[in-house]
Amino acid sequence: MMARLPESLSAESLLARTVRAIRGADSTALEAARSRQQLLTKPEGSLGLLEDLSIRLAGMYGQVPETVPSHPVVGLFAGDHGVWAQGVSPDPQEITTQQMVNMAAGGAAISVLSRQMGAQLWITDVGARHEVDAPIRQRCVRRGTDDISQGPAMSLDEAVQALEVGIETGVEAVEQGADILVTGEMGIANTTPASALISVFTGLPPAEVTGKGAGSDDRRHQHKIGVVARALQVNRPDAEHPVEALAKVGGLEHAAMTGFILAAASLRIPVLIDGVIACSAALTATAICPRARDFVITSHAGAEPGITATTSALGLPALLDLGMRLGEGSGAILALPIVQASAHILNEMATFEDAEVTDIKVSGETDIPDAVQASIPPCRALILGGARSGKSTFAESRLPRDSCVTYVATSQRNSGDAEWEERIRLHQARRPATWHTVETTDIASVLLADDESPMLVDCLGVWMTRILDEVGAWTAAPGDQTWQNDLKGHVDELTDAIRRTRRDVTFVSNEVGMGVVPDTPAGRLFRDELGRLNAAVGQACDEVWMCVAGIPKRWA
């Protein structure tokens, strides 16, 4: 995984040297942590995300027993934005500097939470419109960005300077004893450039990643989506050139937070992110150096759709969802005790041998008396959701990560479609090594195979697209319905196999009523047939779930 830096950047620049220093998670420590988790006095997987997090921490710190992070530093970066002039925020821009003063005085939410968690709060002015008379770090690159709806936010050199402010801050924090970094930010209108960056690095349209921000109504929200779309059209940022993209549509605090994340990765310590601004920085950092992902911990899900899009793209589920939408790093610092707890569990929990507790994995299960022998029926679940709703991440979280799972990928590889190939790569990267991937449309055969491992089918929407192609529905003349019998045969074969299978199986599908379907004959055809398929599969399943904004709810 090659780093993506501007060709004009000096190899001896701080940014280039930092990126070169980033190595992925320590594979030896990861394996040692996985092995230890197997020995602890609990059923495998019973502590959920705490177990995964403890293993990831071991890979970050490179040791087992692992470091319990106890010296956090919140790196909070502030900047202003020229796009504010487009009316994307109801708040006056003066609040940026006023809040920095409030933060430094200890009166802001992040100030209170940092004190509670024993964290140092480092406030850095990297691009506020006005100079702040308060005890903060003065590292201003320029006084606010230009309007991204009219042209680039800043020059490439300014973006690199802001990135290096973040790197210097992270390095200084670690040199002074920090063993975990926490991202924070302040900047009125900064969710607009954040949405633009998230759109660039996820490939999703602005409407799917742009939220209301702080306090906007529906009318302003629609206007904001249009401003983001205009910024992308005017500047044409390219995900293959992330630093240039950051200069075109990002902000100075976004750049500094990106550098802060890269610094953490280069120094092999975790960095907690939350909020849509931090998410855009994390996507930028991992676009610059994909190995940086190994050191990112996503803390709070939040209300912004860009957060869900980011956690899905990174394959890193959030630890909390408290309905917060403040930013500042407030959600990230709240997750610190969970991170500490995961490390304590791995380090201090007794093993079966230490506690003289029978390990069922070694001794074997106790037999069921013959008189009460009964087979447990398989669990068949359908998980629905709109685009980037978190449905795939939720489906994967229901399955064991340290034992065999059959992952049925219904998508078709297309080397000519770079964006589609990148989505497939991201999905593959987040699957555990113990999972076995099968790329096929013949789901029924896999369901009925002589195999008892759980199955995950992702997704039925893509499967329907390919089956419609196979039966000739897309090219049929108007009024020609002969293909429908062939389609019905495929659907009946699938639902019959669902009812007959002895395997636990989870299906992921698009809820077409919540998505944007092109108002064309092909779009309506797909919508109707996928709706019928979802209904048929739902009838054959034991559970039906709906994911909305990353939050799953069971409906049946």
Which residues carry out catalysis? 328
End-to-end CA distance of the chain: 43
| Residue 555: count of CB within 10 angstroms of its CB | 10
Candidates 79, 86, 93; CA nearest to 224 is 86
Distance CA 304, CA 143 (A): 27
Reduced to 3 states (helix: H, G, I; strand: E, B; else coil), residue 409 is: strand
Contacts of 480 (CB under 8 A, 6+ apart): none
Query: Which two structure tokens, joined as six digits, stand for 283?
Result: 């996507």
Write out the two tokens for 178: 């920090």
* Closest to 495 (Cα-Cα) out of 329, 416, 380: 380
Distance (Å, whole) CA 127 – CA 475: 55
Enumerate the H helices of 138-213 as residue ranges: 156-175, 191-202, 206-209
Provide φ and ψ at 213, rounded to 5°: 75, -150
At 312, which helix (H) or strand (E)? helix 305-314
C-alpha distance from residue 319 to each of 162, 271, 302, 428, 550 (Å): 29, 14, 11, 22, 12
Q: CB atoms < 10 A from the CB of 254, how many?
A: 33
The closest alpha carbon to 466, from 419, 411, 409, 421, belongs to 411
Tokens of 506: 């989870």
Whole-number Å distance between alpha carbons of 473 and 521: 11
Collapse the DSSP code of 278 into the 3-class scheme (helix H, G, I; strand E, B; otherwise coil) and give the result: helix
CA distances from 302 to 93, 293, 550 (A): 23, 20, 9
What is the C-alpha R_g of the chain?
Answer: 25
At 129, list the tokens.
Answer: 């419109």
For residue 383, what are the β-bridge partners?
508, 545
Phi-psi region of 122 (alpha: psi -120 to 50; beta: other; left: phi over 0): beta
Give rounded-to-5 percent helix, strand, coil for the chain: 50, 15, 40
Helices (H), 398-541: 418-429, 443-447, 460-470, 483-500, 521-540
Q: Which residues contact 176 (CB under 8 A, 6 or more apart)?
A: 73
Q: In this structure, what token pair is assigned to residue 67? A: 């470091």
